[in-house]
Structure 1
Amino acid sequence: MRKLNAFYHTYPHVKYCLLFPVYLLIYFIAEALITKNYWVSYLPLDDHIPFLEGFVLFYDLWYPAMILIGVYLLLKEPENFKRYMKFLFAGFFLCEVIWLLFPNGQNLRPEVFPRENFFTELIAGLYAADTNTNVFPSAHVVGAIAVAAGVFHSDTLRRKSWLKVLTAILCFFIAISTVFIKQHSILDVFAGVALCIPLHFLIYSRRAVQPMPQKAQELPAE
């Protein structure tokens, strides 16, 4: 208990993590309430997107990516951790509000996998654990964009160009993995991106810009 108290006094912003169980509670309520009679999320473009089971690896990287950037900012950059958590959970909660007010789902999951392998086994487990409802907007896309924003606005991580490039590529593949494994319609991806645009403006544009140190002006020679 003393260690926990000491950790909290050192990192009081850890309290933002309490938003996670609240999100999960609302998520499971939505999953239980919305099972049928939902609006179907679909665009004709979905018919031209192939089922590529290998993308489930990118889909699953969503979880460690969010945790890793969250832990780093928690320990190293308290203010940026707060912004990251505000962006992440504001996006998540807005998704849930839309799900509850506008029940939706998608009917793109294959009834039979075209192939049987390790990746399809992972997807089968994913399908069993996560229903095909509550997809518009995609929380997966919101989380991926939050990770990218966390890195790009970090005081230290944004100085590493290679890391920003790697993060952008990873988050892009995480987002598009949702359509290749038929967990989402492409419409859900567009909606997730659209939701994040005003959130990014509201949360990150207000950040105080640190003035650049100015060189001392040379006195004119007499």
Structure 2
Amino acid sequence: MKNLFYRYRHAWVLSYAFIYLPWFLYLEKKVTNHYHIMHVAIDDYIPFNEYFIIPYFLWFFYVSAAILYFFFAGVKDYYKLCTMLFTGMTISLMVCTVFPNGTDFRPVINPDKNVFSYIVSFLYSKDTCTNVFPSIHVYNSICVHIAVSHSEKLRQNRLIQAGSFLLMVSICLATVFLKQHSAFDGLGALVMASIMYQFVYSGSYVRGRNEVSEKAIG
């Protein structure tokens, strides 16, 4: 048992959930009115499509599966992914804390239309239209695909690479076609991911992080 705990001691990183979840739930309850509306002109030209609820919910599997895979398959990649994910998620919460934001263009949903509309209706009832900028759905999806594309074990698998890319794009599109986010929220997530990429996957930071990971593996 002692060896098992030592081997998987990098699990400590996942304790971030105890920071993120209470903070996120606090914002969901606090930010209910008097928030800045996120909206750009292109939002008005994007039609609602309930079928995008499929990739939207696949996001949960996509992110968790990536973390789980790298947890066992490669500590270096695991640390990079978690660093990028959790730093961006923290920045997003900070933005929403000091700059309350949300949307106001959710359509009226007929839950009896089909099963997909029913699920969207359920989502709307449980998830508020606030705390949307930058989009965590978009940001995390980009982070996961970056991790997959940089993995030495996965980069040679064209099927996984293509599947990851298509799922990432589908999830990003789902945020706007479900009217969960403004296109501006996605743009903000893209910019944040681009900046974080420079810190996590290039330069001296990577060398330092690799040294830490190698010690953890050893």
TM-score > 0.5, shorter chain as reference: yes
Give the CA deviation at 1:113: 3.8
- Count of residue pairs brought into register by the alignment: 206
Tell me, yes or no, if structure 1 residue 66 matches structure 2 residue 67.
Answer: no
What is the alpha-carbon root mean square deviation over aligned residues?
Answer: 1.6
Aligned pair partner of 2:75 in 74, 78, 86: 78
Trace 1:1-16 onto structure 2 (pairs within 5 A). Answer: 2=1, 5-16=2-13
Tell me, yes or no, if structure 1 residue 142 matches structure 2 residue 166.
Answer: no
Larger radius of gyration: 1
User: Given residue 105 of structure 1, which amino acid in structure 2 is its aligned partner?
Assistant: G
Normalized against structure 2, the TM-score is what?
A: 0.90
% identical equivalent positions: 30
Tell me, yes or no, if structure 1 residue 125 matches structure 2 residue 119.
Answer: no
User: Given residue 57 of structure 1, which amino acid in structure 2 is its aligned partner?
Assistant: I
Indicate conservation of the 8 Å contact 2:111/2:118, yes or no: no
- Residue matched to 2:177: 180
**Residues 76, 112 of structure 1: alpha-carbon distance in 2 compared, 3 angstrom cutoff:** closer
Tell me, yes or no, if structure 1 residue 90 matches structure 2 residue 87.
Answer: yes
Compare 160-169 and 22-31 and name the one that shifted more. 160-169
Using the alignment, how far apart are the partners of 2:51 and 2:119 within structure 1? 10
**Residues 114, 20 of structure 1: alpha-carbon distance in 2 compared, 3 angstrom cutoff:** closer
- Residue matched to 2:155: 158
Aligned pair partner of 2:189 in 189, 192, 204: 192
Using the alignment, how far apart are the partners of 1:145 and 1:24 within structure 2? 21
- Which of the two has greater helix per residue? 2
Give the CA deviation at 1:26: 0.8
Give the CA deviation at 1:115: 7.0
Using the alignment, how far apart are the partners of 1:149 and 1:21 within structure 2? 25
Using the alignment, how far apart are the partners of 1:187 and 1:127 within structure 2? 20
Normalized against structure 1, the TM-score is what?
A: 0.88
User: Given residue 100 of structure 1, which amino acid in structure 2 is its aligned partner?
Assistant: T
Indicate conservation of the 8 Å contact 2:49/2:178, yes or no: yes
**Residues 42, 114 of structure 1: alpha-carbon distance in 2 compared, 3 angstrom cutoff:** farther
Using the alignment, how far apart are the partners of 1:188 and 1:94 within structure 2? 13
Using the alignment, how far apart are the partners of 2:193 and 2:114 within structure 1? 35
- Residue matched to 1:18: 15
* Unaligned segments of structure 2, at least 5 residues: 211-218
